[in-house]
């Protein structure tokens, strides 16, 4: 009899465990959605804040204004960057600021030419320049790409350590996306990242739904068991 009782209890224990687990997963997805929502609000606040000079430890998305001169020899082209279906490059050039710091600036997008072995040329102003932009962290290395990020000035992804080693230019740990109106032919249509708030909320609803289904099935089987036991006692 005791073996039968344990056997009867096991499905309910499994149901309770599934219910608890799915509720926890739903709560985790809810927290992730709230974190991403807060990040979106911070991004919007940083974008609307007055421009400042580049701090020693700047916040991502902070609006900054730089004064300095371009180090044109350190320019690189991030390859395979598509804009409205057209392949091209993102041009990055280091800027040496008034206080001697060096920071890589994402200057904009330009289309690739017919001859992919030749990188397109871009007019770069000489002398003192003023650059407005947003602070960004470098993108993570895509999983599918090789460990070697560059072939000369053509790069598949930005690796700051590799850039410093190759060029000898000690750039900062952040980059700046230039937002000035374009006068050099570059397109500065920087996409905002998809934070996935709605996606996390959708996952949370799914997990809570599974928790409710698990609880409902436990209750239904328990009710059937109770009805069955009651009928057996009446027959006896």
| pLDDT tens, residue by residue, 33-89 | 888 887 777 777 766 766 677 777 788 888 899 999 999 999 999 998 999 889 999
Instruction: Note whether residue 108 is domain-resident.
Output: yes
Q: How many domains does the chain have?
A: 2
73, 156: one domain: yes
pLDDT of residue 177: 94
171, 74: one domain: yes
168, 87: one domain: yes
**133: containing domain:** 50-178
Q: Is the dihedral of CA 143, 149, 153, 154 positive or negative?
A: negative
pLDDT in tens, 102-122: 999 999 999 988 887 889 888
Instruction: Note whether residue 205 is domain-resident.
Output: yes
Mapping DSSP to helix (H, G, I), strand (E, B) and coil, where does residue 229 land?
Answer: helix
pLDDT of residue 17: 86
pLDDT in tens, 87-99: 999 999 999 999 9
pLDDT of residue 142: 64
Mapping DSSP to helix (H, G, I), strand (E, B) and coil, where does residue 49 land?
Answer: coil
214, 110: one domain: no
28, 129: one domain: no
55, 34: one domain: no
Instruction: Note whether residue 191 is domain-resident.
Output: no
Instruction: Note whether residue 188 is domain-resident.
Output: no
pLDDT of residue 6: 58
* Mean pLDDT along residues 115-131: 89
162, 207: one domain: no
Mapping DSSP to helix (H, G, I), strand (E, B) and coil, where does residue 119 land?
Answer: coil
pLDDT of residue 72: 94
pLDDT of residue 183: 78
157, 207: one domain: no
Structure-token pair, residue 29: 């997805």
pLDDT of residue 1: 43
Structure-token pair, residue 152: 């000369």
Q: In DSSP terms, which residues pair with 108 in a beta bridge?
A: 91
36, 60: one domain: no
pLDDT of residue 66: 93
63, 168: one domain: yes
**Within its chain, how far is the Cα of 169 from the centroid?**
27
30, 92: one domain: no
pLDDT in tens, 159-183: 999 999 999 999 999 999 999 887 7
97, 205: one domain: no
pLDDT in tens, 1-30: 444 465 666 777 777 888 889 899 999 998
**Within its chain, how far is the Cα of 124 from the centroid?**
30
Instruction: Note whether residue 185 is domain-resident.
Output: no
Instruction: Note whether residue 210 is domain-resident.
Output: yes
């Amino acid at each position: 009899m005791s073996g039968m009782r344990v056997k009867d209890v096991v499905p309910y224990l499994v149901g309770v465990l599934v219910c608890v687990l799915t509720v926890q997963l739903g709560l985790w997805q809810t927290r992730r959605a709230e974190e991403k929502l807060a990040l979106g609000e911070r991004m919007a606040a940083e974008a609307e804040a007055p421009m400042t000079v580049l701090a020693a430890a700047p916040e991502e998305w902070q609006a900054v204004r730089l004064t300095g001169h371009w180090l044109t020899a350190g320019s690189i082209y991030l390859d395979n960057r598509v804009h409205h279906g057209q392949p091209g490059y993102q041009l990055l050039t280091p800027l040496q600021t008034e206080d001697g710091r060096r920071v890589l600036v994402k200057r904009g997008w330009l289309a690739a030419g017919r001859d992919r072995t030749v990188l397109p040329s871009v007019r770069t102003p000489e002398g003192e320049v003023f650059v407005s932009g947003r602070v960004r962290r470098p993108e993570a290395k895509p999983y599918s790409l090789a460990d070697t990020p560059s072939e000369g000035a053509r790069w598949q992804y930005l690796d700051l350590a590799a850039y410093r080693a190759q060029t000898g230019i000690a750039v900062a740990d952040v980059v700046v996306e230039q937002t000035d109106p374009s006068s050099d032919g570059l397109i500065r249509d920087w996409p905002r990242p998809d934070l996935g708030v709605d996606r996390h909320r959708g996952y949370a609803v799914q997990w809570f739904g599974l928790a409710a289904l698990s609880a409902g099935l436990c209750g239904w089987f328990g009710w059937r068991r109770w009805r069955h036991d009651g009928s057996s006692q009446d027959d006896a």
